[in-house]
Amino acid sequence: MARPAALAWMAIVVALVVAACGGTSHGGPITAEAPAANNAVATASNLADLRKRPFNLPAVGANASCPITQPHDLAPVVSGGKGKGPGFGFGPGPAYLSGIVQIYPGSFDNEVWLIEPKYEGPVLIRGHQINGAHFVAFSEPITFPIGGFSSAGSPPPGAPVISVTISGAPVPFYQELDLPAMSAADAKGFWRQFFARTHIEAPGCYAFQLDGANFSVVTVFQVPDAARPAA
């Protein structure tokens, strides 16, 4: 599958929740077609139920390569109701990581999370390093009055795990990202799009776990030991 030119150097992989990284080897990166979502999970009806699901992330040894894969071309199908969204996504769906070029350590990165029209329920997103002990922190989704983005919903339960200064103001980041179920404000039959930010302290191999009412997907990505380029 061809990778969009702007993403030629992006290190992202998608793996099933149930799949271990047994194919990981020393040396160069591994590429693989994105597998189907894991639907063999207990059905959940809300975010509280989704939080009861344990992490089920692949294990990557300290000296093993962080596996990578190509993104999906979603350009023919993505529309946010008020405007088109990014034309690519990582994962088998129905929820996808998108809108990024490279995730860096420190400060924050912007992501867009896409959800197919056929899935109208909530999505819980959590993240952790899979070759170390660092976690992924998330800001709440940002609601835009225009642009096709869905409304944010309620903050996650519990206290923030870190505060990041953005545009001169402290912004709380949490251990999870809560994407609410479809609301009356969302255009029926169109993709939902959420804009949010992540914070990762250190380089390494990390994974997002995306849990929905009847699916669970893991997306693995490499955070390089490099400074974020100036804007």
Which tokens hold the place of 132?
A: 């170390």
pTM of this structure: 0.81
Pairing of strands 95-98, 177-179: unpaired
- Summarised one tens digit per residue, pLDDT across range 35-76 is 445 666 778 889 999 999 999 998 887 788 887 766 888 875
- Summarised one tens digit per residue, pLDDT across range 78-102 is 555 545 667 899 988 999 999 886 8
DSSP state of 6: G
- Summarised one tens digit per residue, pLDDT across range 111-162 is 999 999 999 999 999 999 999 999 999 999 987 766 678 888 888 999 999 9
- Residue 197's contacts (CB-CB under 8 Å, 6 or more residues apart) are 108, 109, 110, 111, 138, 139, 142, 164, 166, 171, 173
CA 166 – CA 152 distance, rounded (Å)? 18
- Check residue 38 and give its pLDDT: 60
Judge contact between 24 and 60, C-beta under 8 A. yes
- Summarised one tens digit per residue, pLDDT across range 159-210 is 999 999 999 999 999 999 999 999 887 878 888 899 999 999 999 999 999 9
CA 23 – CA 93 distance, rounded (Å)? 22
- Check residue 79 and give its pLDDT: 57
